[in-house]
Amino acid sequence: MHRKVSSRDVNSQRFTKLKNVETDPDPDIYDITYVDVSPSEGSSSPLSKSPWSVQIDAADVEPPPPHSTGKSSATSRHTEESNNYSPNILMGSLVREEGHIYSLATSGDLLYTGSDSKNIRVWKNHIEFSSFKSNSGLVKAIVLAGDKIFTGHQDGKIRVWKVTDSAAFRRVGTMPNLRDYLRNSIAPSSYFNFTRRNRTSTSAQGFRHLDAISCLALSEDKKLLYSGSWDKTFKVWRVTDLRCLESVNAHEDAVNAVVSGFDGLVFTGSADGTVKVWRREDQAKETKHFFSETLLKQDCAVTAIAVDQNAALVYCGSSDGTVNFWERDNSMKNGGVLKGHKLAVLCLVAAGNLLFSGSADLGIRVWRRPERGGAGGGGVHVCISVLTGHAGPVKCLAVERDQESASGERRWIVYSGSLDRSVKMWRVSENSPPMEYRSPDPSGGPSRLTAAPSFSGQGRISSRR
């Protein structure tokens, strides 16, 4: 059930070349290529030589306003930085025919991947390090909390894991646990000590999720774990003893997203088209959550939520391909809508000044917000990149700081999991100019490839028309 990959296995699974995801990969081999983006002769920038830099259709670019030189204020702000950024590239791809990728988590040099094969694989420095497998339920969410790893599953349970001294992973608990069942069977009416004014909370559904777990999140202080489910509830668990503290009937349809934000607030998004805010209150012997307000009510489903803690922004992705956001400094009023995806937004993650949105349209859009200033961290967001390469919907994202960033440049390593059964690794710079103006064409028109890049068995780039 639990095994550590031997040195022989590790050497056989080094990522030596990039595999074309549209072919049928060997189920026992992972492949990766580190793309060479060094400048070549006759090129003033490696960007023009990288097939994984932003490529957009001219028809999708809004024309510059009348009497304009075609350069926005966002572009002018990045003029001085134009020589101090790296191209946004695809660094590698992990492919294995064992299931769609539903969840990712990263911590330091470790990457955790969950799929519908019930496997959780652990990668260290881009080489498989270890793996562990649950008995039932595909892995819908992964959260790391200190020395514990929480995984949410299709069967409505949360499983808890720890790593041993031998680098093997051992399951140390399942939530709800046996103690929860015993307490509820002895005194079901008093298992939760809910107050009458918190009418959204009830012991009717108790400590057990009745349907698939869709999302997991940690509280700001890392002491609580939140779980959202298709049973329309979210539940609150204590990390130390794994006990369920509260169950909240939150929505009229499946809960697709739950995120702990700033100021003790928790945000939930649902297939009923709403985003709700819940206020956490720490009382004498317990923690309670009370409904605060509804930020959004729409016809299409809410599919993802992310919080930018530094700028106090809340982002919400929807099945219509849009991303709404709200600003704490603007009394939680809607700050705008980001449009660009052609199909549903399936995942969101915020890092630094960037927001990454993965979609069913197979792409990942990278948005940059203005620097936090007198007008807050909201305002006009610009799309600085569209990362393309997946052959299936992008289901999950994870981000970590690139420790090899050049002086004066902040870069991020982005991992994307897809229903094409692959995980891709990207490098993205915050200093990139807005994509509609990034072009080697002196006329100012957007650059694009005449054919999509594919990869031969030798890892060389070829054109496929």
CATH number for position 230: 2.130.10.10
Name the band, by pLDDT with cuts 50, 70 and 90, for residue 372: low
Helix/strand/coil (H/E/C) assignment for every residue in 309-341? CCCCEEEEEECCCCEEEEEHHHCCEEEEEECCC
* Average pLDDT rounded to a whole number, residues 59-87: 45
What are 277-335's pLDDT values in tens digits? 999 998 877 889 999 999 999 999 999 999 999 889 999 999 999 999 999 988 899 99
Would you state the pLDDT for residue 434?
A: 83
The sign of the dihedral angle between the CA atoms of 153, 235, 358, 89 is negative
pTM: 0.76
Name the band, by pLDDT with cuts 50, 70 and 90, for residue 33: very low
What are 148-176's pLDDT values in tens digits? 999 999 999 999 999 887 778 899 999 98
Residue 379 CB-density burial (10 A; 0-12 exposed, 13-18 middle, 19+ buried): middle
Residue 7 CB-density burial (10 A; 0-12 exposed, 13-18 middle, 19+ buried): exposed
- State the total domains in the chain: 1
The mean-pLDDT minimum among 37-51, 116-130, 215-229, 403-417 falls in 37-51
The mean-pLDDT minimum among 97-111, 176-190, 380-394, 439-453 falls in 439-453
What are 251-265's pLDDT values in tens digits? 999 999 999 999 999
Domain that holds residue 439: 2-464
Distance of CA 144 to the CA centre of its chain: 14
In 25-112, alpha helices (H): 73-77
Residue type, 347: C
> What distance in Å separates the CA atoms of residue 356 and residue 426, rounded to the nearest whole number?
12
Higher pLDDT, 276 or 41: 276
What are 174-195's pLDDT values in tens digits? 998 766 656 655 555 544 443 3
Backbone angles phi, psi at 438, to 5 degrees: -85, 105
